[in-house]
């Protein structure tokens, strides 16, 4: 088993599938290796919250489809990923133990690739944070340093891949939730263009189109191959995108010299650490050596408008989510068992007017037009993915005084006064201070990726983000493959 375990961790998902296809190993053996690894390290990282070992063994008994990842162990994020007969809590005590009655469209497509699903991964409540510390399931820890966060909201998936449990796991991104864990865990993470990956059948779009789902991977080619397998509209898609699924093949194509603009200026006006700046500067040097034209740009997006646009989306959808749960459970809004901080967000959403929400949505289009202006001059935009190395577990917890204030606001229904006081803007600025670079691409719909090219002196990974014009996911993947070849990261393993 030891030799097989070593072989397992030396391969990406396509490599493991090839071993199965050639008969060098069986899918059953790979599953047992994955389970053994999970049992060994999950108590330390708390990445998997719902083991589905028997479900996976039954999958193999019935036979998995002959796809690009046939026989490869796989994990689903416990948010949006409906798998018939298995729990889907979305990180919330209110939904703990609720069983899905059908597969989501994306899960159906994952399954058609031949992956063997054997568990679900941790996520913050409703995926609302850039850390993964839900009260109901506890904190997920970073395999590179167990005192640090793996990021969020796909932190469970990121930790599982970085810890060597699986080579690839599902993820979703509504404000950076693929790219932030990729940056924190030394992985590759692509947020696809808006509408490229379906969200049906129960929703035509998530968060007004801000959410895109995909995977976190160790290799670029795994991400490209999975995107080939899952792209395309379903019956619920509001804006069908027609694309030829050739992302994997495109990695072998020569990449022209690109003009890339970079900035290390926080999009919301906060501090950016020296390490985060060094990550971008190191990446810029590498890009120049590969023949690309790289230059600093004068960044002039309005930070206040960006925070306002994103926070209004955030509040409104939390209110809608809690309201939907209340209806499903036959409860009143205030009775739904969510975390106190989530309840504040929900009530803030309830006191916002429809006009205020639409005004904020207008800003989305304004940002999209501004980014279009940037892309007239630059093929890609390069930034840090996050503003510092991964923060400590518990760093975002409210102070005792803060907790008391949250309870007072909820108890006395002071949310409208809180909104008018300016305290909400300050709260949102503080919440985005360490992750200020990722939300913009969710509002504009652009594809964006985090690439692991830098490690700090303390041994923590720190990714670099690239944004491309809408629909140019292929260009991002091609560049990522070039960077991966020039400065390989696959062999770097977390010291767990």
List the catalytic residue out of 70, 77, 104, 388: 77
Q: Is 89 a catalytic residue?
A: no
Q: Is 77 a catalytic residue?
A: yes
Nearest to 64 by CA among 8, 123, 17, 7: 17
Q: Is 153 a catalytic residue?
A: yes
List the catalytic residue out of 104, 154, 177, 450: 177
Evaluate whether 215 touches 170 at the Cβ level (below 8 Å). yes
List the catalytic residue out of 82, 89, 104, 153: 153
Measured CA to CA, the distance from residue 37 to residue 118 in angstroms comes to 12
Residues designated catalytic: 77, 153, 177
């Amino acid at each position: 088993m030891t030799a097989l375990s070593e072989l397992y961790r030396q391969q990406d998902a396509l490599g493991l599938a090839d071993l199965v296809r050639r008969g060098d190993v069986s899918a059953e053996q790979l599953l047992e290796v994955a389970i053994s690894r999970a049992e060994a390290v999950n108590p330390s990282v708390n990445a998997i919250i719902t083991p589905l070992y028997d479900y996976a063994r039954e999958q193999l008994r019935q036979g998995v489809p002959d796809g690009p990842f046939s026989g490869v162990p796989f994990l689903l994020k416990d948010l949006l990923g409906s798998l018939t007969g298995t729990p889907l809590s979305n990180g919330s005590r209110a939904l703990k133990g609720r069983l899905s009655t059908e597969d989501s469209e994306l899960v159906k497509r994952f399954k058609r690739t031949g992956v063997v699903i054997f568990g679900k991964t941790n996520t913050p409540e409703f995926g609302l944070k850039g850390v993964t510390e839900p009260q109901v399931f506890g904190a997920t820890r970073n395999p590179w340093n167990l005192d640090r966060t793996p990021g969020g909201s796909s932190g469970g998936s990121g930790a599982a891949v970085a810890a060597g449990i699986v080579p690839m796991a599902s993820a979703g991104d509504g404000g950076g939730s693929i790219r932030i864990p990729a940056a924190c865990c030394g992985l590759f993470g692509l947020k696809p263009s808006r509408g490229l990956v379906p969200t049906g059948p129960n929703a035509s779009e998530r968060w007004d189109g801000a959410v895109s789902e995909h995977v976190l991977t160790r290799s670029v080619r795994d991400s490209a191959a999975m995107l080939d397998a899952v792209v395309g509209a379903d019956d619920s898609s509001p804006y069908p995108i027609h694309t030829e699924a050739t992302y994997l093949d495109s990695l072998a194509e020569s990449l022209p010299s690109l003009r890339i603009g970079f900035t290390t200026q926080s999009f919301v006006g906060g501090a950016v650490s020296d390490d985060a700046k060094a990550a971008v500067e190191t990446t810029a040097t590498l890009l120049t050596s590969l023949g690309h034209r790289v230059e600093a740009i004068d960044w002039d997006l309005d930070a206040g408008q960006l925070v306002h646009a994103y926070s209004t989306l955030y509040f409104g959808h939390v209110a809608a989510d809690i309201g939907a749960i209340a209806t499903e459970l036959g409860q009143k809004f205030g009775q739904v068992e969510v975390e106190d901080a989530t309840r504040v967000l929900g009530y803030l959403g309830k006191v916002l007017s429809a006009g205020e929400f639409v005004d904020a949505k207008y800003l989305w289009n304004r940002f999209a037009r501004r980014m279009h202006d940037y892309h007239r001059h630059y093929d890609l935009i390069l930034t840090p993915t996050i503003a510092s190395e991964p923060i400590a577990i518990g760093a975002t917890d409210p102070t005792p005084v803060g907790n008391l204030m949250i309870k007072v606001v909820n108890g006395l229904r002071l949310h409208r006064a809180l909104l008018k006081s300016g305290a909400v803007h300050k709260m949102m600025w503080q919440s985005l201070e360490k992750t200020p670079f990722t939300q913009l691409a969710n509002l504009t719909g652009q594809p964006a990726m985090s690439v692991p090219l830098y490690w700090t002196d303390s041994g923590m990974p720190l990714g670099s983000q690239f944004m491309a014009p809408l629909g140019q996911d292929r260009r991002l993947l091609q560049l990522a493959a070039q960077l991966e070849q020039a400065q390989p990261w696959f062999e770097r393993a977390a010291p767990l």
